[in-house]
């Protein structure tokens, strides 16, 4: 049997911010689709079911685990948004230079965290 060439894989490629942000974009999108949809449907169902069901929802979402879920969802939203904007810029043909691509790959998750902190600071100060 003839030797077939191997495709480059993680043994050959070095990790780079571009690889990390691509994986993070997929993970945050899946998290928003699964967890975000579940929380949204629970919230809508509780809202439609009356005061007691809504109080149960609020009670669960204001526990430490509920706060982690809500902050995690908002972080996933902002991180996904920032990396989506990065992908949009790449789709129009800009930002392929190595330094620019690397800089935006690092800036996207940092901006996601900053926007999440700002979002919760605004919510908690009102």
The DSSP-derived string for 2-56 is PPPPPPP-TTTSPP-HHHHHHHHHHHHHHHIIIIIHHHHHHHHHHHHH-HHHHHH
Query: What number is the average pLDDT over the span 32-58?
Result: 97
pLDDT tens per residue, range 1-13: 667 666 666 667 7
**Cβ atoms 90, 96 nearer than 8 A:** yes
**Cβ atoms 24, 106 nearer than 8 A:** no
Query: What number is the average pLDDT over the span 35-45?
Result: 97
Return binding residues: 80
**Of all residues in the chain, what percent carry a pLDDT higher than 70?**
91
Q: What is the pTM of this model?
A: 0.86
Return binding residues for heme: 80
pLDDT of residue 42: 98
Longest dimension (CA), the chain: 70
Domains of the chain as residue ranges with CATH: 17-125 (1.20.1300.10)
């Amino acid at each position: 049997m003839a030797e077939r060439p191997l495709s480059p894989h993680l043994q050959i490629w070095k990790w780079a911010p571009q690889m990390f942000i691509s994986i993070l974009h997929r993970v945050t999108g899946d998290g928003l689709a699964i967890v975000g949809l579940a929380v949204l449907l629970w919230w809508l169902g509780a809202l439609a079911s009356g005061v007691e069901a809504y109080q149960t929802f609020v009670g669960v979402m204001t526990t430490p685990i509920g706060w982690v879920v809500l902050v995690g969802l908002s972080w996933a939203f902002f991180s996904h948004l920032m990396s989506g904007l990065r992908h949009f810029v790449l789709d129009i043909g800009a930002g392929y230079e190595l330094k620019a691509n690397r800089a935006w790959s690092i800036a996207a998750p940092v901006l996601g965290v900053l926007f999440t902190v700002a979002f919760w600071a605004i919510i908690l100060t009102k």
